[in-house]
Structure 1
Amino acid sequence: MKQRALIILVAILGATCIVLGIFLLRGGKQPETADPTPEATATVTPTATPEAESSASTDSAVPYVSPIDFASLQKENPDIYAWLYIPGTEFDFPILQRAGDDDYYLTHDSDGNDNSMGAIFSESSYNDGKMDDPATVLYGHQMLAGTMFGKLQQVYSESNALTEHGDITVYLPEKELHYKVFAAVPYDNRHILYTYDFTSKRRYNAFLNSVFDVREIGAQHSTDVSVTPEDKLLILSTCLQGNSHRRFLVVAKCVDEVE
């Protein structure tokens, strides 16, 4: 009996030594509990879930949708490539361009019908029909009834014109362009895009100087808008009231492009 008790005692002491050895090898730390103390709690900034990341990515990649229904317009007349809108005025027209016939819309309306009123148009010989050129010129008749560009000179000859009507928007199927008007002046009848090579900084600046040099009654200039040869210009051109051998120009630079 004594021998058996001695064997059991030795076994118990051996097991105790083993447990104590494991405890010491682990650095004497107690097992972690499910409720750590506040000092041991770390603050973690949550990251976006895949669903949230996908949503954010989708939102930033939403394609531009034009407020103009170009699909319907171009079904009626494929020459319509853009739309001109000047807030606070009656200028709200389609812009057209006829490949190979720059004079077509002098005598045809936006539906392609014979009409002395014509349409607002650019020339395919000088402009690409995408508003990407250094300068784009849009032409329109100065109609006595006030249609087309009939009121262009009247509106932009007012002393507050560049403040009240200084913003111009051009819509295209895939983007919209925002322009700021910096000059509105009586001008001679030279063909601007033939006379000035706007890819040349020297010729570009020569055009700007010719505009800012105009000091006639009704000429308006803005000192708040800086213009450089890197800017894309929009030029609205129509006949000068009382002198069809001269032009009236509204000149603006692109300040924003929304795609």
Structure 2
Amino acid sequence: MMNRKKKYYLCLAFISFIVIAGIGTYLFIDSRNSRQEMDELASMAYSSLEQSDDAMEDSSAASSSDIDLNDSNTLASEATSEATIEETSEQTSNTSNIDIVSLQNVNPDIFAWINIPGTLIDYPIVQHPTDDTYYLSHGPEGMNSSHGCPFIESCDSISLQDFNTVVYGHNMNDGSMFAGLHKFEDKDFLESHREITISTADHEMSYRIFAAVMYSDTYIPYYYDDSVEADRLAFLDSLSTDCVSSRSIILDDEKVGADDHIITLSTCDRKLRDNRFIVVAVLKKIDGVDV
């Protein structure tokens, strides 16, 4: 009888080991594949910026080699070069430094790129045309992935000009996707890392964070209608009322109103499963120009 029990427990332990090892292997491979996928897209997204920097360096080197210090036209040439640089800057100031067009050749659902300094958040943002839940379980290239990809729902515009655009992302154990949002629970970190950049094919938008809130599970796009001013104001008020105050920070140096454009970055919390942690930022600049 004892031998039979011993064999049973040994068999159960072996099966448990196999299951745990299998799950661990799957999670490792899934995390690795997601990281590789994002690295490849990041390389593609920033390639135009790198090429532009290289071209400027080559142009600068060529210009320097052509200068004759004894030439009376040197000062005039320098002035012309500066004017050309200023003109080029003006021509490119209304375009994004991220190559969204190339990313859209990989997946047309990619419409923007988000970067938050001080975190690992440096990812494409997608919007599926028919299925708002698709990118909960698919990466930015459409492959099955538990990491998913930051996304907005079809109720929000890819122009990011709604009052409140909600961007969702997973809180992954490996620190990827929107896990980095939880860094903003630390007030010192929040106060020193308030800038968010979102680039589209046409524009580069700069946002300033004003709230990091352990929010309720209220479905924001359904509960608050962006087309109604009272709802816009109600959402802003809810940041200080519909929350876990001990894990929420609202900075009072940004006066955000119903006519502003904001983004709400939303992820889950490992302890408070019925809550969402959100980081909210207001649009400050488009292509370097104040709005």
Shared topology, TM-score over 0.5?
A: yes
Residues 183-202 of structure 1: per-residue CA shift (max 9 Å, x gap): 10111111101100122221
Say what the alpha-carbon RMSD is for the aligned residues.
2.1
Looking at structure 1, the residues matched to 207 and 151 of structure 2 have their Cα atoms a distance apart, in angstroms, of: 18
Counterpart of 1:76 in structure 2: which amino acid? V
Looking at structure 2, the residues matched to 86 and 219 of structure 1 have their Cα atoms a distance apart, in angstroms, of: 19
Matching residue of 1:200: 228
On the 8 A contact 2:97/2:204 being kept in 1, the answer is no
Matching residue of 1:108: 138
On the 8 A contact 1:158/1:218 being kept in 2, the answer is no
Residues 24-67 of structure 1: per-residue CA shift (max 9 Å, x gap): xxxxxxxxxxxxxxxxxxxxxxxxxxx9xx97995575143422
Matching residue of 1:86: 116
On the 8 A contact 1:135/1:198 being kept in 2, the answer is yes
Matching residue of 2:127: 97
Looking at structure 1, the residues matched to 281 and 238 of structure 2 have their Cα atoms a distance apart, in angstroms, of: 15
Matching residue of 1:173: 201
Selected match of 1:186 from 214, 218, 241: 214
On the 8 A contact 2:215/2:277 being kept in 1, the answer is yes
Looking at structure 2, the residues matched to 139 and 162 of structure 1 have their Cα atoms a distance apart, in angstroms, of: 19
Name stretches of at least 5 consecutive residues in structure 2 with no aligned partner: 1-79
Mark the CA change 1:84 to 1:55 in structure 2 (over 3 Å): closer, same or farther: closer
Instruction: State the secondary structure of the residue aligned to 1:105.
Output: helix
Matching residue of 2:237: 209
Task: Report the Cα offset of residue 142 of structure 1.
Answer: 1.0
- TM-score for both structures, normalised by structure 2: 0.66
Matching residue of 1:236: 265
Counterpart check, 1:75 vs 2:96: no
- TM-score for both structures, normalised by structure 1: 0.74
Looking at structure 1, the residues matched to 253 and 95 of structure 2 have their Cα atoms a distance apart, in angstroms, of: 32
Name stretches of at least 5 consecutive residues in structure 1 with no aligned partner: 1-50
Looking at structure 2, the residues matched to 256 and 128 of structure 1 have their Cα atoms a distance apart, in angstroms, of: 18
Structure holding more strand per residue: 1
Looking at structure 2, the residues matched to 172 and 74 of structure 1 have their Cα atoms a distance apart, in angstroms, of: 11
Looking at structure 2, the residues matched to 57 and 199 of structure 1 have their Cα atoms a distance apart, in angstroms, of: 40
Mark the CA change 1:56 to 1:69 in structure 2 (over 3 Å): closer, same or farther: closer
Residues 185-237 of structure 1: per-residue CA shift (max 9 Å, x gap): 11111110110012222111111111023452221110111111010010000
Larger radius of gyration: 1
Mark the CA change 1:224 to 1:110 in structure 2 (over 3 Å): closer, same or farther: same
Instruction: State the secondary structure of the residue aligned to 1:180.
Output: strand
Looking at structure 1, the residues matched to 87 and 208 of structure 2 have their Cα atoms a distance apart, in angstroms, of: 32
Counterpart of 1:142 in structure 2: which amino acid? N
- Identity, % of aligned pairs? 37
Counterpart of 2:226 in structure 1: which amino acid? F
